[in-house]
Structure 1
Amino acid sequence: MSLTYPETGLVDSFEIYRTQKPSVTLVVEREITEPTLFRNSNNDRAETQQFGDQLHAQVNGEKFTSKERLTGLDLLRSLDDELVDDEYTYNEPASLEESINVGTLTYGLAGTGDQDFAIKSRVIEGYTYTTDEYDLMNKETRNAVYESGTMRTDENEQSEALFDYVKVQPGNSLVHFITLEAATGPMLLYALHNVLNTGRYGARETRTGRNVRNEVRAVILGGHDTSLSTGELLMEYHENEACIGESIADYIEAVRRTDWEVYGEFEGADDFPEWYENLEAVAARETDDADDVLREEFDRLTEAAIDVFTDDD
């Protein structure tokens, strides 16, 4: 399948310094399918935010993006060894040259230790909040079990160690606005792949199966910033027990600007165009040639970035 990209919202080629900042916003609903723990400074529960008379869990967008970055890095390594340098380690870059890959070009990177370099992120993701109530009284208690399979030690002493977690429960969801600023087509493809193919989030996610199902409810293209706010959506456009899809539609229509192109399955939006449907099919790896297309698109971006950084030096 040959992909095409829209003329609005993206840049034609990779550049370090961005004089123009068109943007694409993915409106993602993250549906909770299993009890999920989003920790903050209190390791037993999420941060909270009050909207009206309800308490909502507040989640830093990086808690989602960090898991999605790992999904993308795994994809790059599986597609082609040359897409990621053998010396590159997530969040522990050795040098700029070894760190150039689609993941760092899309999500950014800062050199650590003695390294003095940075790749600016093209992805902007703000805080998000549960659309329904977060019940602090709904605690899940876990026991500290020993090797014997019981709460008794080898000396037959009874353990009293209990852990209480306040998880976001199935049936709840979060609306997350993910904006790509001055991104290329392959960056959008990469970010979309990571959203559609990541299903485990939160603390202790290695001890559970898929706990979140992501769905792109809308795509917004603009010649300038198209960032939206989940807090604004919930405070001003979403009533308790209301349909979140209708609230999203009302919010977008209220803040919409003349340079926006809005696509989605709700009133006021245009139907998803063919270029997006093809993009999503490849990103979700639903087509027979998806891996070939992904490899070709990512290789093209990587080579272009290497040329730019080399010329810049």
Structure 2
Amino acid sequence: MTLDYPDKGLVESFGIYRKRKPSVTLVVKRDVTEPTLFRNSNHDRAETQEFGDKLHAQVNGEKFTSKERLTGLDLLRELDDELVHEEYAYNEPVDLEKSLNVGTITYGLAGTGDQDFAIKSRVVEGYTYTTEEYDLMNKETRNAVYESGTMRDAEGNQSEALFDFVKVQPGNDLVHFITLEAATGPMLLYALHNVLNTGKYGARETRTGRNIRNTVLGIVLGNHDTSLSTGELLMEYHSEDADLEDSIGTYVDSVRRSDWDVYGEFDGADDAPEWFDRLVAVASRKADDADDVLREEFTALIEDAKGELLGDD
């Protein structure tokens, strides 16, 4: 029932000090399926970057990480209430012992107040950008209506509350390179689960349905750094009429290091091995024994981490 993990890219067990820093990078394509608002410093639109003569929406990786962390936390509580302390809430750490769970040791944690503590994240989700143009003129206007269903209140006063949002439109997509540094196999499983099972991102997500569909196009394993850049991909390796997966293949092949193993659906990548297909099946919860495997892997990981961080008591 347990999983096989690769010999490269991961560490065997959780450790406080990262004496070795092998890494794994997931190549993720995020397809926009409904208009999605990614706002940062501007409340009504995303930040932007210009590549060539086109404007692209720029999205901080935290916009994805925060939603994926919540997906993982929900999974842990569903699998076993012993995996998350009953007093722990996301972004509200009580103390180190009560805050330890697979989510915090994978994505990191900082505590302040009576007890200062920190766990460094093993996951790096850097900036990403829309692969197609981000049209600032394509605004979606909403108005604030009253209980009557109109823009006039009971006294007949006209509402002037109008909201303009510039959303990333369906048919656009983002390529995201997610790197795990000095992570264990179960940490990779956890991050992969969260990517494959999260479908709502962006601001005002309660006003929309599933708005992003994530697909893992490949994985890069290395004895050292395997991080990749979406900006570099779009600026130097992807032209307007080029096939996106062809561009990814060209980019990865160009920056590839001698210690990398690359598997995936793009040119230059080897076919996915059995261990990866099994990992994806469990992470996506499509395998019949997925929940049993997830519970077993995460229980072993958190016990290992508690021994390191809290000692034998």
Deviations 1:217-258 (A, max 9, x none): 110000001001100000000101321111100100000000
**Equivalent residue for 2:55?**
55
Cα distance in 2 between the residues matched to 1:195 and 1:267 = 23
1:74-89 alignment, distance < 5 Å: 74-89=74-89
Cα distance in 2 between the residues matched to 1:167 and 1:266 = 29
SS of 2:279's partner is: helix
Contact 1:92–1:112, Cα closer than 8 Å, also in 2: no
Residues 234-243 or 218-227, more deviating: 234-243
Letter in 1 for 2:139: K
**Equivalent residue for 1:211?**
211
Residues 195-204 or 266-275, more deviating: 266-275
Cα distance in 2 between the residues matched to 1:273 and 1:30 = 23
**Equivalent residue for 2:294?**
294
Letter in 1 for 2:163: F
**Equivalent residue for 2:143?**
143
Shift of residue 311, structure 1, vs aligned partner: 2.7
Cα distance in 1 between the residues matched to 2:296 and 2:3 = 11
Cα distance in 1 between the residues matched to 2:291 and 2:68 = 18
Deviations 1:246-294 (A, max 9, x none): 1100100000000000001122110011000000000000011110100
Shift of residue 312, structure 1, vs aligned partner: 8.8
TM-score by length of structure 1 reads 0.98
SS of 2:25's partner is: strand
SS of 1:178's partner is: strand
Cα-Cα RMSD? 1.0
Cα distance in 2 between the residues matched to 1:29 and 1:294 = 24
Cα distance in 1 between the residues matched to 2:95 and 2:113 = 10
Cα distance in 2 between the residues matched to 1:242 and 1:41 = 32
Structure 2 segments unaligned to the other structure (5+ residues): none
SS of 1:82's partner is: coil
Cα distance in 2 between the residues matched to 1:115 and 1:283 = 34
**Equivalent residue for 2:45?**
45
SS of 1:227's partner is: coil
Contact 1:190–1:283, Cα closer than 8 Å, also in 2: yes
SS of 2:268's partner is: coil
SS of 2:55's partner is: strand
**Equivalent residue for 1:97?**
97
Deviations 1:178-225 (A, max 9, x none): 000000000000000000000000000011110000001110000001
SS of 2:311's partner is: helix
Cα distance in 2 between the residues matched to 1:253 and 1:128 = 20
SS of 1:28's partner is: strand
**Equivalent residue for 1:131?**
131
**Equivalent residue for 2:263?**
263
Cα distance in 1 between the residues matched to 2:112 and 2:158 = 46
Cα distance in 2 between the residues matched to 1:115 and 1:205 = 34
Runs of 4+ in 1 over 2 A off after TM superposition: 112-115, 310-313
Letter in 2 for 1:48: T
TM-score by length of structure 2 reads 0.98
Letter in 1 for 2:21: K
Letter in 1 for 2:6: P
SS of 1:154's partner is: coil
Shift of residue 129, structure 1, vs aligned partner: 0.2
Contact 2:2–2:297, Cα closer than 8 Å, also in 1: no
SS of 2:82's partner is: helix
Shift of residue 166, structure 1, vs aligned partner: 0.2
Letter in 1 for 2:146: Y
Deviations 1:4-57 (A, max 9, x none): 000000000000111000000001000000000000111100000000000000
